[in-house]
Chains A and B, each alone.
Chain A
Amino acid sequence: MTKLKTFAIGGCHPDKHKTTSDRPIEDAGIPETVCIPVCQHIGRPAKILVKKGDRVKTGTLIADADDVISADVHSSVSGEVVKIEENIGKTGYPEIMITVKTDGDDWEESIDRSPETVADITLTGGEIIRRIRKAGIVGMGGAGFPTAAKLSPPPGKKIDTLIINGIECEPWLTADDRLMREKTEEIIIGAKILNKALGIQNAVVAIDENKPQAAALMQKLTRRYVGVNVAVCRTKYPQGAERQLIAAVTGREVPPGCLPADAGCLVQNAGTAFAVYEAVQKNKPLFERVVTVSGDNLDHPGNYRVRLGTPAAYLIEKAAPREEAAEIIFGGPMMGQSGVNPAAPVTKTTSGILCFGAQSVFRPQPTECIRCGRCTEVCPQGLEPFAIKNLTRRGDYQAAKKIHVLDCIECGSCSYVCPARIPLTDYCKLAKYEIRKKK
């Protein structure tokens, strides 16, 4: 057996809790109303095309990308637009949302709803990118960068490798794992489509070794597709972070302040690859995604295919909560955000909704640093979080900048391992905020 690939610097091993990995993807059903935010991505909010009282179908364009760095938004149900106003989002801040009252599930005619897998790619590269833009696809791992914009690299940068990110290194989350097991071929075709759009011949599907079934299926099916390979990586957090993944798969390290394109790589999430397949081969815009609903407060955790705009509370109710939730996390426990509003909608970037009970939600009291050096050991960027913490506490942000705090990817590894329970990641975030503010 060959040595498994992984990144060289740092990394840690949080408890996996992947209890939902053997639960097949279920359809979550359609809630009575959905609230669809017009900004589910990085960049400008989309321009609203509908007004109150309009009838929309599933897949109807309801908000139009306003810029290159923006994304179309489609209705995820059929029904009537009842409200277009500010609503409370997951973090509690008001966001503009389009509320649609559901009356069935009437899809746009242009969407191909046949179950066959379409393997032939008939469109040209330019057409593919246009299709992806029209489908409103964004990076579904969490960042939410518009995919069409990512597929047009800045001039002078030559991309030679496409990496499909099937690492899913966050604990609890299994959405990508399930998707890779159930829609294996579709993801591979998605990779081929992205390859064609980029005009390259080399795609690598990266999977952690803790997903052996997904890796085996992927390896079996990729034999039929020239130019798509599988890289099984040694499980280590945060391997799913873009820079760490590129280092693990290709051995190239993206220098500080540079983009992945500088290392000739482009990373797309497995879920994004599937969405690309559906958009290009089936003409289906992005209005649903797979979400892991899990956490120790749920009796029936699982993986659900969810219409965007579905309230998180609707999914939690489906998963049978035991007691009143003490914390709801959108995303994974290492980098995800605590939710303020349980009724906040699932968006394009919501990979998981975790619901924890009172016994497991606590913030240990920080004690004095014992200089064990674990934060330095695990930092995947080679930083020294303890030093950053000391400088931040002193308010010396310029010195923190000199020790590369801006390279911090906020993966949370240092806070996770710190035996003194010092919130090191928080101090790094604070230093970054202050440095950026001064600019």
Chain B
Amino acid sequence: MLKISTAPHCYAKADTRSIMRDVIISLLPAGAVAVALFGLAALVTIVTAVAGCVFFEYACCRWWLKTKPTTGDFSAVVTGLLLAYNLPCNMPLWMTLIGCFVAIVIAKAAFGGIGKNLFNPALVGRVFLFISFPVQMTTWVKPQLFDFLNTDAATGPTTLGLLKHLDGTASATISAASELPNYEQMFFGYVGGSLGEVSALALLLGFFYLLWRRVVSWHIPVYYLGTFFILTGVFWLTTGNPAAEPVTQLLSGGLMLGALFMATDYTTSPMSKNGKIIFAVGCGVLTFVIRRFGSYPEGVSFAILIMNAFVPLIDRCCHPRIFGTGRK
């Protein structure tokens, strides 16, 4: 029996599943660095977060949304990975699972499942944990290269925490300045911090893979980081505040992870090119404002979440140019 179909009769290879698989592959280098630096605890956190997210995704589809479970498209795995990368390695596992619950059930399924969520699920999970358990969320284990059991588990401040101290009293400033890691340490990741955010190199490697596979475009990260770098640089040059040294600011905290992997999330970023640029610049400005004038050392999560809320508005205003007309 002949089959009849409407045109087109062929399809591109990339589907939702293969795209998510590419994102997972791109996140692996950062995960490897985390395990190398923070040992088994990091691996346990990552596995727990991924398993938790996949479970909640399956449960929501099956018993709540009553749709065919979408666990097969790997989007929950990506959420789990991103959530784990935003946590310190010594996070109690039950807290991690609460983060998974918030990310998948509240931030994703409650909005209608994949493609319908307004906010980035992993970031919602992280911010929820950050506000609920501030102590656990800001206890950073010092990295110990290849000491997998991480026996002494000494804790120490993050680069951003130190930078915040530079604003403070004279004595704190001096001690903080002496503890600051140099650029190489920050670039390769030999610093304290959340699992996935420490190594800019690993994140960039993964991102270049995504660019090569044409999964994402370069616009959001470049405009985001560029805006932030310029604003911080101008502030640093005009005030001379050592805490605003732009390269350190760029390489520290969750900025790289956020700009490369969180802000570029398909569902929670604008569709058009111009919209992406507006979104990224907004993220950059907000990150700068929160880091510089807010009470938190870190501003990336809040900046991206706030800009997520503007995405429907941006999508309404930014349209591509219609063929044969000027700007619409």
Contact = CB atoms under 8 A, between A and B. Distances in A.
A339 B2 contact: yes
B247 interface: no
B3 A338 contact: yes
Interface string A356-368: 1000010110011
Given A14-B10, A334-B10, A410-B7, A342 B2 contact: yes
B77 to A, nearest CB: 14
Interface string B47-78: 00000000000000000000000100101000
B5 A412 contact: no
Contacts of A407: 322-324
Nearest to A383: B322
**Of A342, A386, A415, A421, most B-chain CB atoms within 10 Å:** A415
B10 A419 contact: no
A223 B275 CA distance: 48
A108 B171 CA distance: 106
A368 B61 CA distance: 13
A415 B324 contact: no
Contact of B12 (A247, A361, A416): A416
Nearest to B113: A368
B169 interface: no
A256 B271 contact: no
Contact of A340 (B4, B6, B73, B321): B4
Nearest to A9: B323
Given A384-B271, A420-B16, A425 B8 contact: yes
A44 interface: no
Contacts of B270: 373
Contact of B15 (A171, A339, A420, A429): A420
A116 interface: no
B2 A326 contact: yes
B6 A419 contact: no
Contacts of A338: 2-6, 9
Interface in B152-198: none
A256 B323 contact: yes
Given A14-B12, A421-B15, A425-B8, A368 B2 contact: no
B300 to A, nearest CB: 21
**Of B73, B114, B323, most A-chain CB atoms within 10 Å:** B323
Nearest to A381: B323
Contacts of B115: 368-371, 420
A386 B16 CA distance: 15
B7 A258 contact: no
Contacts of B328: 382
Nearest to A354: B9
A82 interface: no
Given A326-B2, A327-B3, A381 B322 contact: yes
A385 to B, nearest CB: 11
Contacts of B5: 327, 338, 361, 363
Contacts of B272: 373, 376, 384
A370 B271 contact: no
A364 B7 contact: no
Contacts of A15: 10
Interface in A384-439: 384, 386, 403-404, 407, 410, 412, 415-417, 419-421, 423, 425-426, 429
- Interface SS of A by simple majority: loop
A325 B1 CA distance: 8
A333 B2 contact: no
B239 to A, nearest CB: 39
A364 B6 contact: no
B3 A412 contact: no
A349 to B, nearest CB: 15
B12 A12 contact: yes
A382 B6 contact: no
Given A243-B324, A384-B319, A340 B7 contact: no
Interface string B1-37: 0111111111110111011000000000000000000
A255 interface: yes
A291 interface: no
A328 B70 CA distance: 33
Nearest to B270: A373
**Of B9, B113, B266, B325, most A-chain CB atoms within 10 Å:** B9
Contacts of A372: 19, 266
Nearest to A337: B7
Nearest to B271: A373
A419 B7 contact: no
A184 B9 CA distance: 31
Contact of A416 (B2, B8, B324): B8
A10 to B, nearest CB: 8
Contacts of A376: 271-272, 320
A340 B5 CA distance: 10
B213 interface: no
Given A364-B15, A370-B114, A384-B271, A333 B320 contact: no
Interface of B: 2-12, 14-16, 18-19, 70, 73, 75, 113-116, 266-267, 269-272, 319-325, 328
Interface of A: 9, 12, 14-15, 171, 243, 247, 253-256, 258, 325-329, 333-340, 342, 356, 361, 363-364, 367-373, 376, 379-384, 386, 403-404, 407, 410, 412, 415-417, 419-421, 423, 425-426, 429
Given A337-B7, A372-B266, A419-B19, 10 more contacts: A247-B323, A328-B2, A334-B7, A336-B9, A340-B4, A372-B19, A380-B323, A407-B323, A415-B11, A423-B6
28 contacts: A12-B12, A14-B12, A253-B324, A327-B9, A328-B2, A338-B2, A338-B3, A338-B5, A340-B2, A342-B2, A356-B9, A361-B9, A367-B16, A367-B70, A368-B114, A370-B114, A370-B267, A371-B266, A380-B323, A386-B271, A404-B322, A407-B322, A412-B8, A417-B12, A419-B12, A419-B19, A423-B6, A425-B6
Q: Which 6 A-B pairs have the closest CB atoms?
A: A412-B8, A373-B271, A255-B324, A253-B324, A368-B115, A333-B9
